Amino acid sequence: MLLFLVAVTLLQTDSSLGGLPYYNGFYYNHVMNDKGNGEREIHFNGIKLVVETPGDPIFTHRGANATLSCQYHYDPPLDKPRKIRIKWSKLREDSTKDQDVLVAVGLKHRSFGDFSGRTHLQQDSSGDVSLVIRDLRLHDGGKYRCEVIDGLEDESGIVDLELRGVVFPYQPHHGRYVLNFHEAKKTCDEQDAVIASFEQLFKSWEEGLDWCNAGWLADGTVQYPITLSREPCGGRAMAPGIRSYGERHKSLHRFDVFCFSSYLKGEVYYLSQAQKFTLEEAKQACQDDKAEIAKVGQLYSAWQFHKLDHCNAGWLADGSVRYPIVSPRPKCGPPEPGVRSFGFPKHGKFGAYCYKMN
């Protein structure tokens, strides 16, 4: 009885929206068409709605198309198809409210926000309600819920979409531990990257990332990855791992940030000319070459995905000077591969890393 009352309340909210066919992603007509609890139970006695999603994550990268598999069926099977609603949403890391991705009733569907124009349901066979997302963006990584609603039953499954990429610690030009959470997110965006998730940081730690400055993550926690235990980084007695400061106040507390970048269309290259540049000259030189000065996330992406390797320091858009090394060699920094940084030099002339879209 309780379920029925809840449905009626929501339906009233629905009609108050004037003409919208649904509210909050749910379709309640089936419930209302039934004459009461008893009949519904007789009608649906023993029939189960089953929703299946893959247990393993989907691994892909920025720019690719992804199909998030989701199938449903009734057990035992029904003779006649029932009108159902499909709702895809994306779980948010730092809040409880999910983000709407797409809702569909019959052949009609609607996608929301950043997803509109690049998502549809696959519907290859009966019961296939897989979600296709084209031209994946950095923000698209994460967990998605596939929800099948037929008025009486509501079942869902989760699909985990993971972008392959690279995590890098970031400290802005004005120093260490100056970013609150909101500024940290913005800072990553400015580097053509996004604030990293815990899973992304963890994966990078498994691949050897070691960084002794704490940084914000997408879930609002502050953590740092240590592969070699040592005194100033949590102590020698502590096993290697991700050290956590836990959740911090998003406006008041200040740290560095871990950013994440994935595959990049286009090309990052070192602009070699006889003379070296100041920062302003470097920006101009890239423009003269029909390109733009590269961002930090773009340099990391080129290093990771295109194996960019250059033992020459060059300016980047944020005023830092760096160079990418895939095959470590003498006079090109430490014995591990990585993007080397000279920080934010106030004086001096260097080369330039430019980015061309193609």
Binding site for ligand NAG (CB under 6 A): 63-65, 134
Contacts of 216 (CB under 8 A, 6+ apart): 179, 181, 184, 185, 195, 222, 248, 255, 256, 257, 258
Residue environment code for 44-65, b if the CB has 16+ CB neighbours within 10 A, otherwise e: eeeeebebebeeeebebbbebe
Cβ-based neighbour number of residue 192 at 10 Å: 21
Tell me the HSE value of 279 on the side-chain side, using a 13 A CA sphere. Answer: 12
Closest-approach residue to ligand NAG (CB): 65
Please say which residue, 65 or 227, places its beta carbon nearer to ligand NAG. 65
Task: Name the minimum Å distance from CB 60 to ligand NAG.
Answer: 10
Residues 277, 285: Cα–Cα separation, whole Å? 8
Spatial CA neighbour of 91 closest among 245, 222, 219: 219
Task: Name the minimum Å distance from CB 63 to ligand NAG.
Answer: 6
Please say which residue, 10 or 64, places its beta carbon nearer to ligand NAG. 64
Q: Which residue's structure tokens are 């990293």?
A: 196
For residue 238 the two structure tokens come to 């502590």
Task: Name the minimum Å distance from CB 34 to ligand NAG.
Answer: 41
Task: Name the minimum Å distance from CB 58 to ligand NAG.
Answer: 14
Q: Contact at 8 Å (CB) between 335 and 297?
A: no
Please say which residue, 54 or 63, places its beta carbon nearer to ligand NAG. 63
Give the β-pairing of 58-60 and 154-163.
parallel
Q: Contact at 8 Å (CB) between 303 and 324?
A: yes
In a 3-state reduction of DSSP, which class is residue 73?
Answer: strand
Q: Which residue's structure tokens are 């998003």?
A: 250
Task: Name the minimum Å distance from CB 355 to ligand NAG.
Answer: 19
Beta partners for 241?
226
Please say which residue, 60 or 187, places its beta carbon nearer to ligand NAG. 60
Please say which residue, 48 or 265, places its beta carbon nearer to ligand NAG. 265
Please say which residue, 265 or 349, places its beta carbon nearer to ligand NAG. 265
* Amino acid in the structure at residue 152: L
Task: Name the minimum Å distance from CB 188 to ligand NAG.
Answer: 24
Please say which residue, 39 or 128, places its beta carbon nearer to ligand NAG. 128
Task: Name the minimum Å distance from CB 147 to ligand NAG.
Answer: 25
Please say which residue, 136 or 354, places its beta carbon nearer to ligand NAG. 136
Spatial CA neighbour of 167 closest among 135, 211, 136: 211
Task: Name the minimum Å distance from CB 296 to ligand NAG.
Answer: 25
